[in-house]
Amino acid sequence: MTDTTDGTPQDSENEDIMTDATEAQDAADEIPAERDDIIFKLNAELEATRDRLLRSVAEADNTRKRAEKEVRDAREYSVSKFAEDMLDISDSLSRAVAAVDEDTIANASEPMKNLIEGVAMTERSMLAKMERHGVRKVDPQPGDAFDPHLHQAVAQIPSDQPAGTIAAAMQTGFTIGGRTLRAAMVAVSAGQSGSDTPQDAPSGGHIDMKA
């Protein structure tokens, strides 16, 4: 008769097999969890690297734009001081040309006509050279809208021009690049004489009356 009591070598071998199978299953169950953890960490590192890269690109782009602006400003405004010094000469030439009316020119001698024309040509040439370097003349006319960025109001007078617009210009102005080098000095219209508060005066905006 065959012995079937516990503790036989066959039973021990089966138990070992079952133990190994259980451990293998447990190890297999742990693999997906470990894999998910690794994937999560890799994704986090990838996102952090991507964020650092985007920040670096943005910072480099901002640095490039600032450098370009500095170069552009240096090129546009490097002659500002020189241009300011030349404005007095331009004003003198303009006054000299404006002081001679058409009748005076018509009755002047030929040498005097040549002198007057020479002064006028010098003024035009100077303005052209200044404009080539970004310095442009601001020459407001009666009826033009008052622009506080370009004009400086030194008086407010009755005129036929709409209230709040320019009635007369006393001195031309100049700009360089996008900046005002010298504001044009103007008188602002208060409307026709004898009228009360003008109905067509522009609303808002402060007119600087300081010379």
Residue 45's pLDDT is 86
Tell me the pTM: 0.56
How far apart, in Å, are the Cα atoms of 104 and each of 88, 89, 100, 107, 124? 25, 23, 6, 5, 21
What mean pLDDT comes out for the span 119-129? 91
Q: What percentage of residues in the chain have a pLDDT greater than 90?
A: 27
Residue 201's pLDDT is 41
Is the pLDDT reported for residue 152 higher than 90? yes
If pLDDT is split at 50, 70 and 90, which confidence band does 37 have? confident
Q: Residue 112, Cβ neighbours under 10 Å: how many?
A: 13
Residue 32's pLDDT is 65
If pLDDT is split at 50, 70 and 90, which confidence band does 208 have? very low
Residues 53 and 6: their CA atoms lie apart, in Å, by: 68
Is the pLDDT reported for residue 168 higher than 60? yes
Is the pLDDT reported for residue 203 higher than 60? no
CB 173 within 8 A of CB 146: no
What mean pLDDT comes out for the span 148-177? 92
Span of 62-66, 74-78, 81-85, 204-208 with lowest mean pLDDT: 204-208
Residue 11's pLDDT is 59
Residues 70 and 79: their CA atoms lie apart, in Å, by: 15
Of 181, 187, 164, the closest CA to residue 79 belongs to 181
Taking all residues of the chain, what is their mean pLDDT, rounded to a whole number?
A: 79
Is the pLDDT reported for residue 81 higher than 80? yes
Residue 150's pLDDT is 93
Residues 18 and 24: their CA atoms lie apart, in Å, by: 10
What mean pLDDT comes out for the span 149-154? 93
CB 175 within 8 A of CB 136: yes
More confident residue, 47 or 18: 47
Q: Pseudo-torsion of CA 31, 34, 37, 38, nearest 10°?
A: -90
Is the pLDDT reported for residue 108 higher than 70? yes
Residue 28's pLDDT is 58
What mean pLDDT comes out for the span 111-118? 90
Is the pLDDT reported for residue 190 higher than 80? yes
